[in-house]
Structure 1
Amino acid sequence: MPRPKLEIADIFRAHGPAWRQANAGHVSLSQLKVMSAIEACRTDALGGHVAGCTKCGHHHIAYNSCKNRHCPKCQGPTARDWIEARAEDLLPVEYFHVVFTLPAEIAQIAYWNKRAVYALLFKASAETVMTTAADPKRMGAKVGLTSVLHTWGSAMTHHPHIHMIVPGGGLSRDGTRWVASKPGFFLHVRVLSRLFRRLFLDGLMALHQAGDLAFYGDLERLVRPDAFTAWLTPFRKSEWVVYSKPPFGGPEAVLAYLSRYTHRVAISNHRLVSADAHTVAFRWKDYRIKNGDRQKIMRLATPEFIRRFLIHVLPDGFHRIRHYGLLASGVRKANLTKIRALLCVQPVEQADNHDLEPEVAPLTLREPCPCCGGPMRIIEIFRRGQKPMSRAPPREQAA
């Protein structure tokens, strides 16, 4: 995919200083760190290396990435490496995509209490699926799942929800059989919705009783237990949105989906259309349109665009991808081995890298030469603030 003409980094570099000054005292340290990382990403501020082609002699300078998980430019390589690791975990069964969404009013509470409420969203949604699947009236099996947190809608508004990938089946209670779900069907959405609603609201009440929730503005009154209990009452009767999509076409489709969702940030550089000191324009999808073209152009004041991007910065150390049940990190390998034996399938073969020369492999880049397709080797490394001694020759001379 060609490099976009406009990037989030361009907007932050040009208009970030004025925005920080105007919002001094109202921006968290985590948000400031994200802005700084994105602004410095792939510039001489982070150092870099000079790569040379072993065939045609082409040289080019590459600056280091910031590797911040909120940076649009850094998520592609990170996602690629993560997907390659997850490919070993795929089973030859149907996979389902389940989405858990919070009501807009409760999402406001999450906005003020990100660490506590996002963690509760993970826990309640995972427990909902595992409890329902274990019910003998449903599937009667222990399942595994991978959950990914997204906090945005297409317009970068605050919209926390969980994307969950679940294999269509699980181990029997005694662990001796693979129990498959019905073809094309995982679990009843209404059952999931009601259990999720109860578990989440009970958990939210527990957070309130422990004094772990903060309230501001018009909802500051909810700090009182009686007011909070009364405010929650209507949500115990309303319908909560849980959506189960049709099963994927196969393991390759699961990986394609995961590559799009696991390491996504609030907006990609490719959605940007234009930006100046006053307005940023970007493409978005209007999901309210049922039939017709959902693609539209949204124009926001530049300060509002920066604000919307930064409200999706996660708390430091907060994991946005989590595994549960059979796929929990500590037991995943053993469970997958047992399941493959029950399904009579061979494990995914891993490439044998023992014959690689250790002193050469780390210096060979994954991307081939842009001129001839030959392997590229690192011929020089330079640190922050340094200039490379090897200068990249003009493109036509490198050939």
Structure 2
Amino acid sequence: MAITLQEIFAGYFDSFAARFRVSRDMLHAAWCIQHCRTRTLGGHVNSCPDGHYHSIAYNSCRHRCCPQCAWVPREQWLARSKQRLLPCPHHHVVFTLPSELNPIWRFNKAAYANTLFAAATETLCQLLDDPKYLGAKPGILAALHTWNQTLMPHVHLHCIVTAGGLSDDGTWLRPQKNCLLPRKVLMIKFRGKFKAMLQQKVRSGEIKLPDSISPNDFKRTLAKLSGKPWNVKSFDAYRDGSGVATYLARYIKGGPIGNSRLLGIRDDKVVFRYRIGTQDGGDGKRQGVAEVPIDQFLGRWLLHVPPRRFQTVRGYGLYSGNQHSRIDEARCALGVAPPESEEPLSWQEWCESAGMLDACTCPVCGKRLVSHHEFAAGRGPPSEAFGWREKRGQAA
């Protein structure tokens, strides 16, 4: 029987937290998952304007790792991103860090991820600034992911990169080759940058080594990794960036696993679907079924909760979002006008745009539901909420 992440946390997290060390960020995420769209968070009433239908809608937790309430925030992020992207081809570049460094990431999540962002984007910007490859300023949108399909640590950065850039004199330049940058050059420069930045942060104390890794062990690990190729992928250009942005949106909100992949609990194990990647002999399309003990499943999921207020999606170059980005100049060079600001859509409009009419319209007359009578956390809706139409009619 299928199960939801909320049901798993409601049934097993308290026991897990009593036996294992859990950070404040993890506790907060678990609390949000357990109480999303429940009486604990309060809510409001949705009603047909003609009084045919009433329903109680409890508030969402809005935690970025919650799969239950991620759909609207994900669509909002995607809409903003598509509006921001320039009308030109884009490349998808992925920087993956060696698994040998995962213990350092676990104890220094924010500083380690900041190092990855800096090393990857500096590599791209510096190489693309070279006239041999482009000689211009690109637009880069980078998104951090820390998991694979079985929720094991897999720290990597997805980058959407414009296939071209803005020169100093304001003209739009296209790359010299279809591949944007030679993969080996990209890998070697990124590997050198990340290693140098990581060593500097360890020396300064910004990144601390876990007890299981001595300074000498750290040096030996880096030396060993220097002779190995790192996993850096650069894909052929997409016609525009919206396709890659749509792919990324699935991971920006909703956490490491969605409810649709959860199959149930059997013999004290969580059963879920996963895609079999190339590293496991698959093609990334064929699916397998994993059975993971409940404690391990919770531990894996909690491992990927980002620090609160940590920015997992960032813009650089033309997409940096500051007054120095020159994105309006880039639009002018490409012959397009800046996008007009649009009024944010209501939840009813989002549902209608996705064809989810059952969620936002009256099942009797088909009119759009109206939200009213908000009620506080831990409370239920007031009784007068269900006579709302009559009072509304009298007031009119």
Checking the alignment, whether the CA contact within 8 Å between 2:145 and 2:158 is kept in structure 1 is yes
Instruction: Name the stretch that deviates more: 363-372 or 45-54.
Output: 363-372
| 1:31 equivalenced with 2:26 (yes/no) | yes
**How far apart are 1:258 and its partner, in Å?**
3.6
| 1:303 equivalenced with 2:303 (yes/no) | no
Q: Deviations over 1:89-133 (max 9, x none)?
A: 122210111100001101222122112111101110010110110
* Paired position in structure 2 for 1:369: 361
**Could you say if the C-alpha distance between residues 99 and 362 of structure 1 is closer, same or farther in structure 2, counting changes exceeding 3 Å?**
closer
Q: Deviations over 1:300-357 (max 9, x none)?
A: 111111011000011222110111112112137x62221121111233344479xxxx
- Counterpart of 2:222 in structure 1: which amino acid? L
* Other structure's SS at 1:166 match: strand
1:269 and 1:19 mapped to 2: Cα distance?
Answer: 20
* Paired position in structure 1 for 2:157: 162
Corresponding residue to 1:346 among 323, 337, 341: 337
* Paired position in structure 2 for 1:8: 5
What TM-score, normalized to structure 2? 0.87
**Could you say if the C-alpha distance between residues 227 and 255 of structure 1 is closer, same or farther in structure 2, counting changes exceeding 3 Å?**
closer
| 1:65 equivalenced with 2:57 (yes/no) | no
| 1:89 equivalenced with 2:84 (yes/no) | yes
2:264 and 2:347 mapped to 1: Cα distance?
Answer: 38
2:146 and 2:283 mapped to 1: Cα distance?
Answer: 26
* Paired position in structure 2 for 1:142: 137
* Paired position in structure 2 for 1:41: 36
Checking the alignment, whether the CA contact within 8 Å between 2:163 and 2:175 is kept in structure 1 is yes
- Counterpart of 2:264 in structure 1: which amino acid? S
Q: Superposed, which structure 2 residues align to 1:1-399 within 5 Å?
A: 5-23=2-20, 26-54=21-49, 57-172=52-167, 174-182=168-176, 184-216=178-210, 218-219=212-213, 221-222=214-215, 226-275=216-265, 278-287=268-277, 288-290=280-282, 294-331=286-323, 335-351=326-342, 366-367=350-351, 368-369=360-361, 371=363, 372-390=365-383
**Could you say if the C-alpha distance between residues 292 and 157 of structure 1 is closer, same or farther in structure 2, counting changes exceeding 3 Å?**
closer
**How far apart are 1:175 and its partner, in Å?**
3.5
2:245 and 2:53 mapped to 1: Cα distance?
Answer: 34
- Counterpart of 2:334 in structure 1: which amino acid? L
**How far apart are 1:54 and its partner, in Å?**
2.5
Over the residues paired in the alignment, what is the CA RMSD in angstroms?
2.5
Identity %: 32
* Paired position in structure 2 for 1:356: none
**Could you say if the C-alpha distance between residues 11 and 227 of structure 1 is closer, same or farther in structure 2, counting changes exceeding 3 Å?**
closer
- Counterpart of 1:72 in structure 2: which amino acid? P
**How far apart are 1:138 and its partner, in Å?**
1.2
Checking the alignment, whether the CA contact within 8 Å between 1:363 and 1:378 is kept in structure 2 is no
- Counterpart of 1:158 in structure 2: which amino acid? P
What TM-score, normalized to structure 1? 0.87
* Other structure's SS at 1:130 match: helix
2:304 and 2:284 mapped to 1: Cα distance?
Answer: 29
**How far apart are 1:183 and its partner, in Å?**
6.9
Number of residue pairs the alignment of both structures matches: 375
* Other structure's SS at 2:6 match: helix
**Could you say if the C-alpha distance between residues 363 and 344 of structure 1 is closer, same or farther in structure 2, counting changes exceeding 3 Å?**
closer
Checking the alignment, whether the CA contact within 8 Å between 1:185 and 1:246 is kept in structure 2 is yes
Checking the alignment, whether the CA contact within 8 Å between 1:60 and 1:392 is kept in structure 2 is no
2:179 and 2:193 mapped to 1: Cα distance?
Answer: 23
**How far apart are 1:373 and its partner, in Å?**
4.2
**How far apart are 1:239 and its partner, in Å?**
0.5
1:253 and 1:96 mapped to 2: Cα distance?
Answer: 11
* Other structure's SS at 1:110 match: helix
Q: Deviations over 1:262-287 (max 9, x none)?
A: 32511111110002671100001121
